[in-house]
Amino acid sequence: MRKRPLFLAVALLAVAFAAAAPVPARAVDLKEMILDPGPLKPVDSVLKVRPGDTAPDFTLPGVITNQGGRRSVRLSDYRGKKNVMLSFVPAAFTPVCSDQWPGYNLAKDLFEEYDTEVLGISVDNLPSLYAWAVEMRGLWFPVLSDFWPHGAVAQAYGVLRTNGTTERAIVIIDKKGVVRFAEIFNINIRPDLGVIMAELHKLEPEPPSGAPRPR
Amino acid sequence: MNRLAAALILIFLLAAPALAANPKAGDTLPDQTVKAQLSPAEVEYLGLPAGTKSFRLSQIKAEALLVEIYSMYCPRCQAEAMPVNRVFARLQASPEGKRIKFLAIGAGNSPFEVEFFRKKYQVKMPMLPDADYTLHKVFGSVGTPSFFVLKPGAKGLGVAFFLEGVFADEDDFYAQVLRAAALR
């Protein structure tokens, strides 16, 4: 019997918290077509790469909608040519993910000025990724499928969650193939573009002409 | 007691759609205090005291407010940026339009992201970052883009017009805004 008031209080608090929690903004065209999983455990894996490590190499099948379809990508092909930003996202057609890569679309000039290729990665299969990229009105960067062996690349980087999806993680790799930044962000929240640009700024200190200065 | 707790949670779940319902004309929004780093030109445009860093929306010197809730990450907001700029320019160029102040709120957008969007599209109107969705929640957690015409009143900000989504026709949208603000 003593437990009842406590239980009631906890239940009331849970209800109040749910009612008060902010809801991320969603583009109107996605609002009704995307299943909202609700708040998820913010981080559910442990990174296996650190700044200074050589980035684990991989080859993945991918699609690049703005250039007509399939494209297989090997990370080490960028060595000596371009910096690379790996953008791991949990899954296609999910709320926050659908609201992340369109921003990188808009920031294409910034990534180019920092001489950086963006590689989007999720554990979805290729047809799903392609349909999703088209639904996002096309993306200028390759979107790679880490579907089979399931999440093998995510596992190598330490960003595979226990339910088989990937973390919302950013890994920045310089032209020597060395990891310069690696972070798992709260899966429920989009990483701030300002944080990403500040990290790229460290690699290419000449500030882009049209960009606000990074923090 | 378990049943009572379950009932409370069920009530909340059933009420959630109502809580999530979009605003509509006739509703009143709370007169939210906003903290923002405004440029001197933005402070002047909004009719706020020089050096303002925090203000209530009702303090903006205007007969009505046009507010866009947008996000840098939303493809439709990106596509709508230039039409929105043209609406702002049109308001600025018209004696009746000048009685309305237009501002944009970047839902979930950091100051960097707002500045990036501003430079990308040469946006001239005041833009407020809302990284933690505080303002977005006050405005009903609407989809992006959304547009409100608000009339300051004793109880808060009266919603005179609400549109969730892009406007199909600039002329129609402009006329609707003026009508809602009772300036036409």
Q: Hey, of A15, A105, A106, A200, which one would you mutate to test binding to chain B, going by the most B CBs within 10 A of its CB? A: A106
Give me the count of residues in chain A: 215
pLDDT digits (tens, 9 = 90+) for A91-122: 888 767 567 999 999 999 999 999 999 999 99
B82 part of a folded domain: yes
Nearest to B136 among A22, A28, A107 (CB): A22
Instruction: Please indicate whether, in this complex, the C-beta atoms of A28 and B76 are within 8 angstroms of each other.
Output: yes
- The DSSP symbol for A160 reads B
Average model confidence (pLDDT) across chain B: 88
pLDDT digits (tens, 9 = 90+) for A161-178: 999 999 999 999 999 999
pLDDT for the residue A207: 54
> Rounded to an integer, what distance in angstroms lies between the CA atom of residue A136 and that of residue A157?
26
CA-based nearest distance B120→chain A, Å: 8
B3 part of a folded domain: no
Higher pLDDT, B7 or B107: B107
B35 part of a folded domain: yes
Instruction: Please indicate whether, in this complex, the C-beta atoms of B78 and A102 are within 8 angstroms of each other.
Output: yes
Q: Hey, of B9, B32, B37, B74, which one would you mutate to test binding to chain A, going by the most A CBs within 10 A of its CB? A: B74
A97 assigned to active site: yes
What fold is seen in the domain A25-203? Answer: Glutaredoxin (3.40.30)
Q: Judge whether B164 is closer than 8 Å to chain A, CB to CB.
A: yes
pLDDT at B10 over 80: no
Instruction: Please indicate whether, in this complex, the C-beta atoms of B141 and A103 are within 8 angstroms of each other.
Output: no
**CATH code of the domain covering residue B44:** 3.40.30.10
B1 part of a folded domain: no
- Grouping H, G, I as helix, E, B as strand and the rest as coil, residue A208 is coil
B146 part of a folded domain: yes
B4 part of a folded domain: no
B7 part of a folded domain: no
Catalytic residue among A34, A63, A92, A97: A97
- Which residue range is the domain that position B49 belongs to? 23-180
Non-local (6+) Cβ contacts of B46 within 8 A are: B38, B55, B60, B61, B62, B101, B103, B126
pTM for the model? 0.83
Which residues in chain B are contacts of A15 at CB distance < 8 A? 8-9, 11-12
pLDDT digits (tens, 9 = 90+) for B24-75: 888 999 998 999 889 999 999 999 999 999 999 999 999 999 999 999 999 8
**C-beta contacts of B17-20 below 8 A and 24+ residues apart:** B19/A19, B20/A23, B20/B141
What ipTM describes this predicted complex?
A: 0.80
Residue A47, classified by CB atoms within 10 Å of its CB into exposed (0-12), middle (13-18) or buried (19+), is middle
CA-based nearest distance A188→chain B, Å: 12
Q: Hey, of A30, A66, A99, which one would you mutate to test binding to chain B, going by the most B CBs within 10 A of its CB? A: A99
User: Is residue A15 very low, low, confident or very high in pLDDT (cuts 50, 70, 90)?
Assistant: very low
B6 part of a folded domain: no
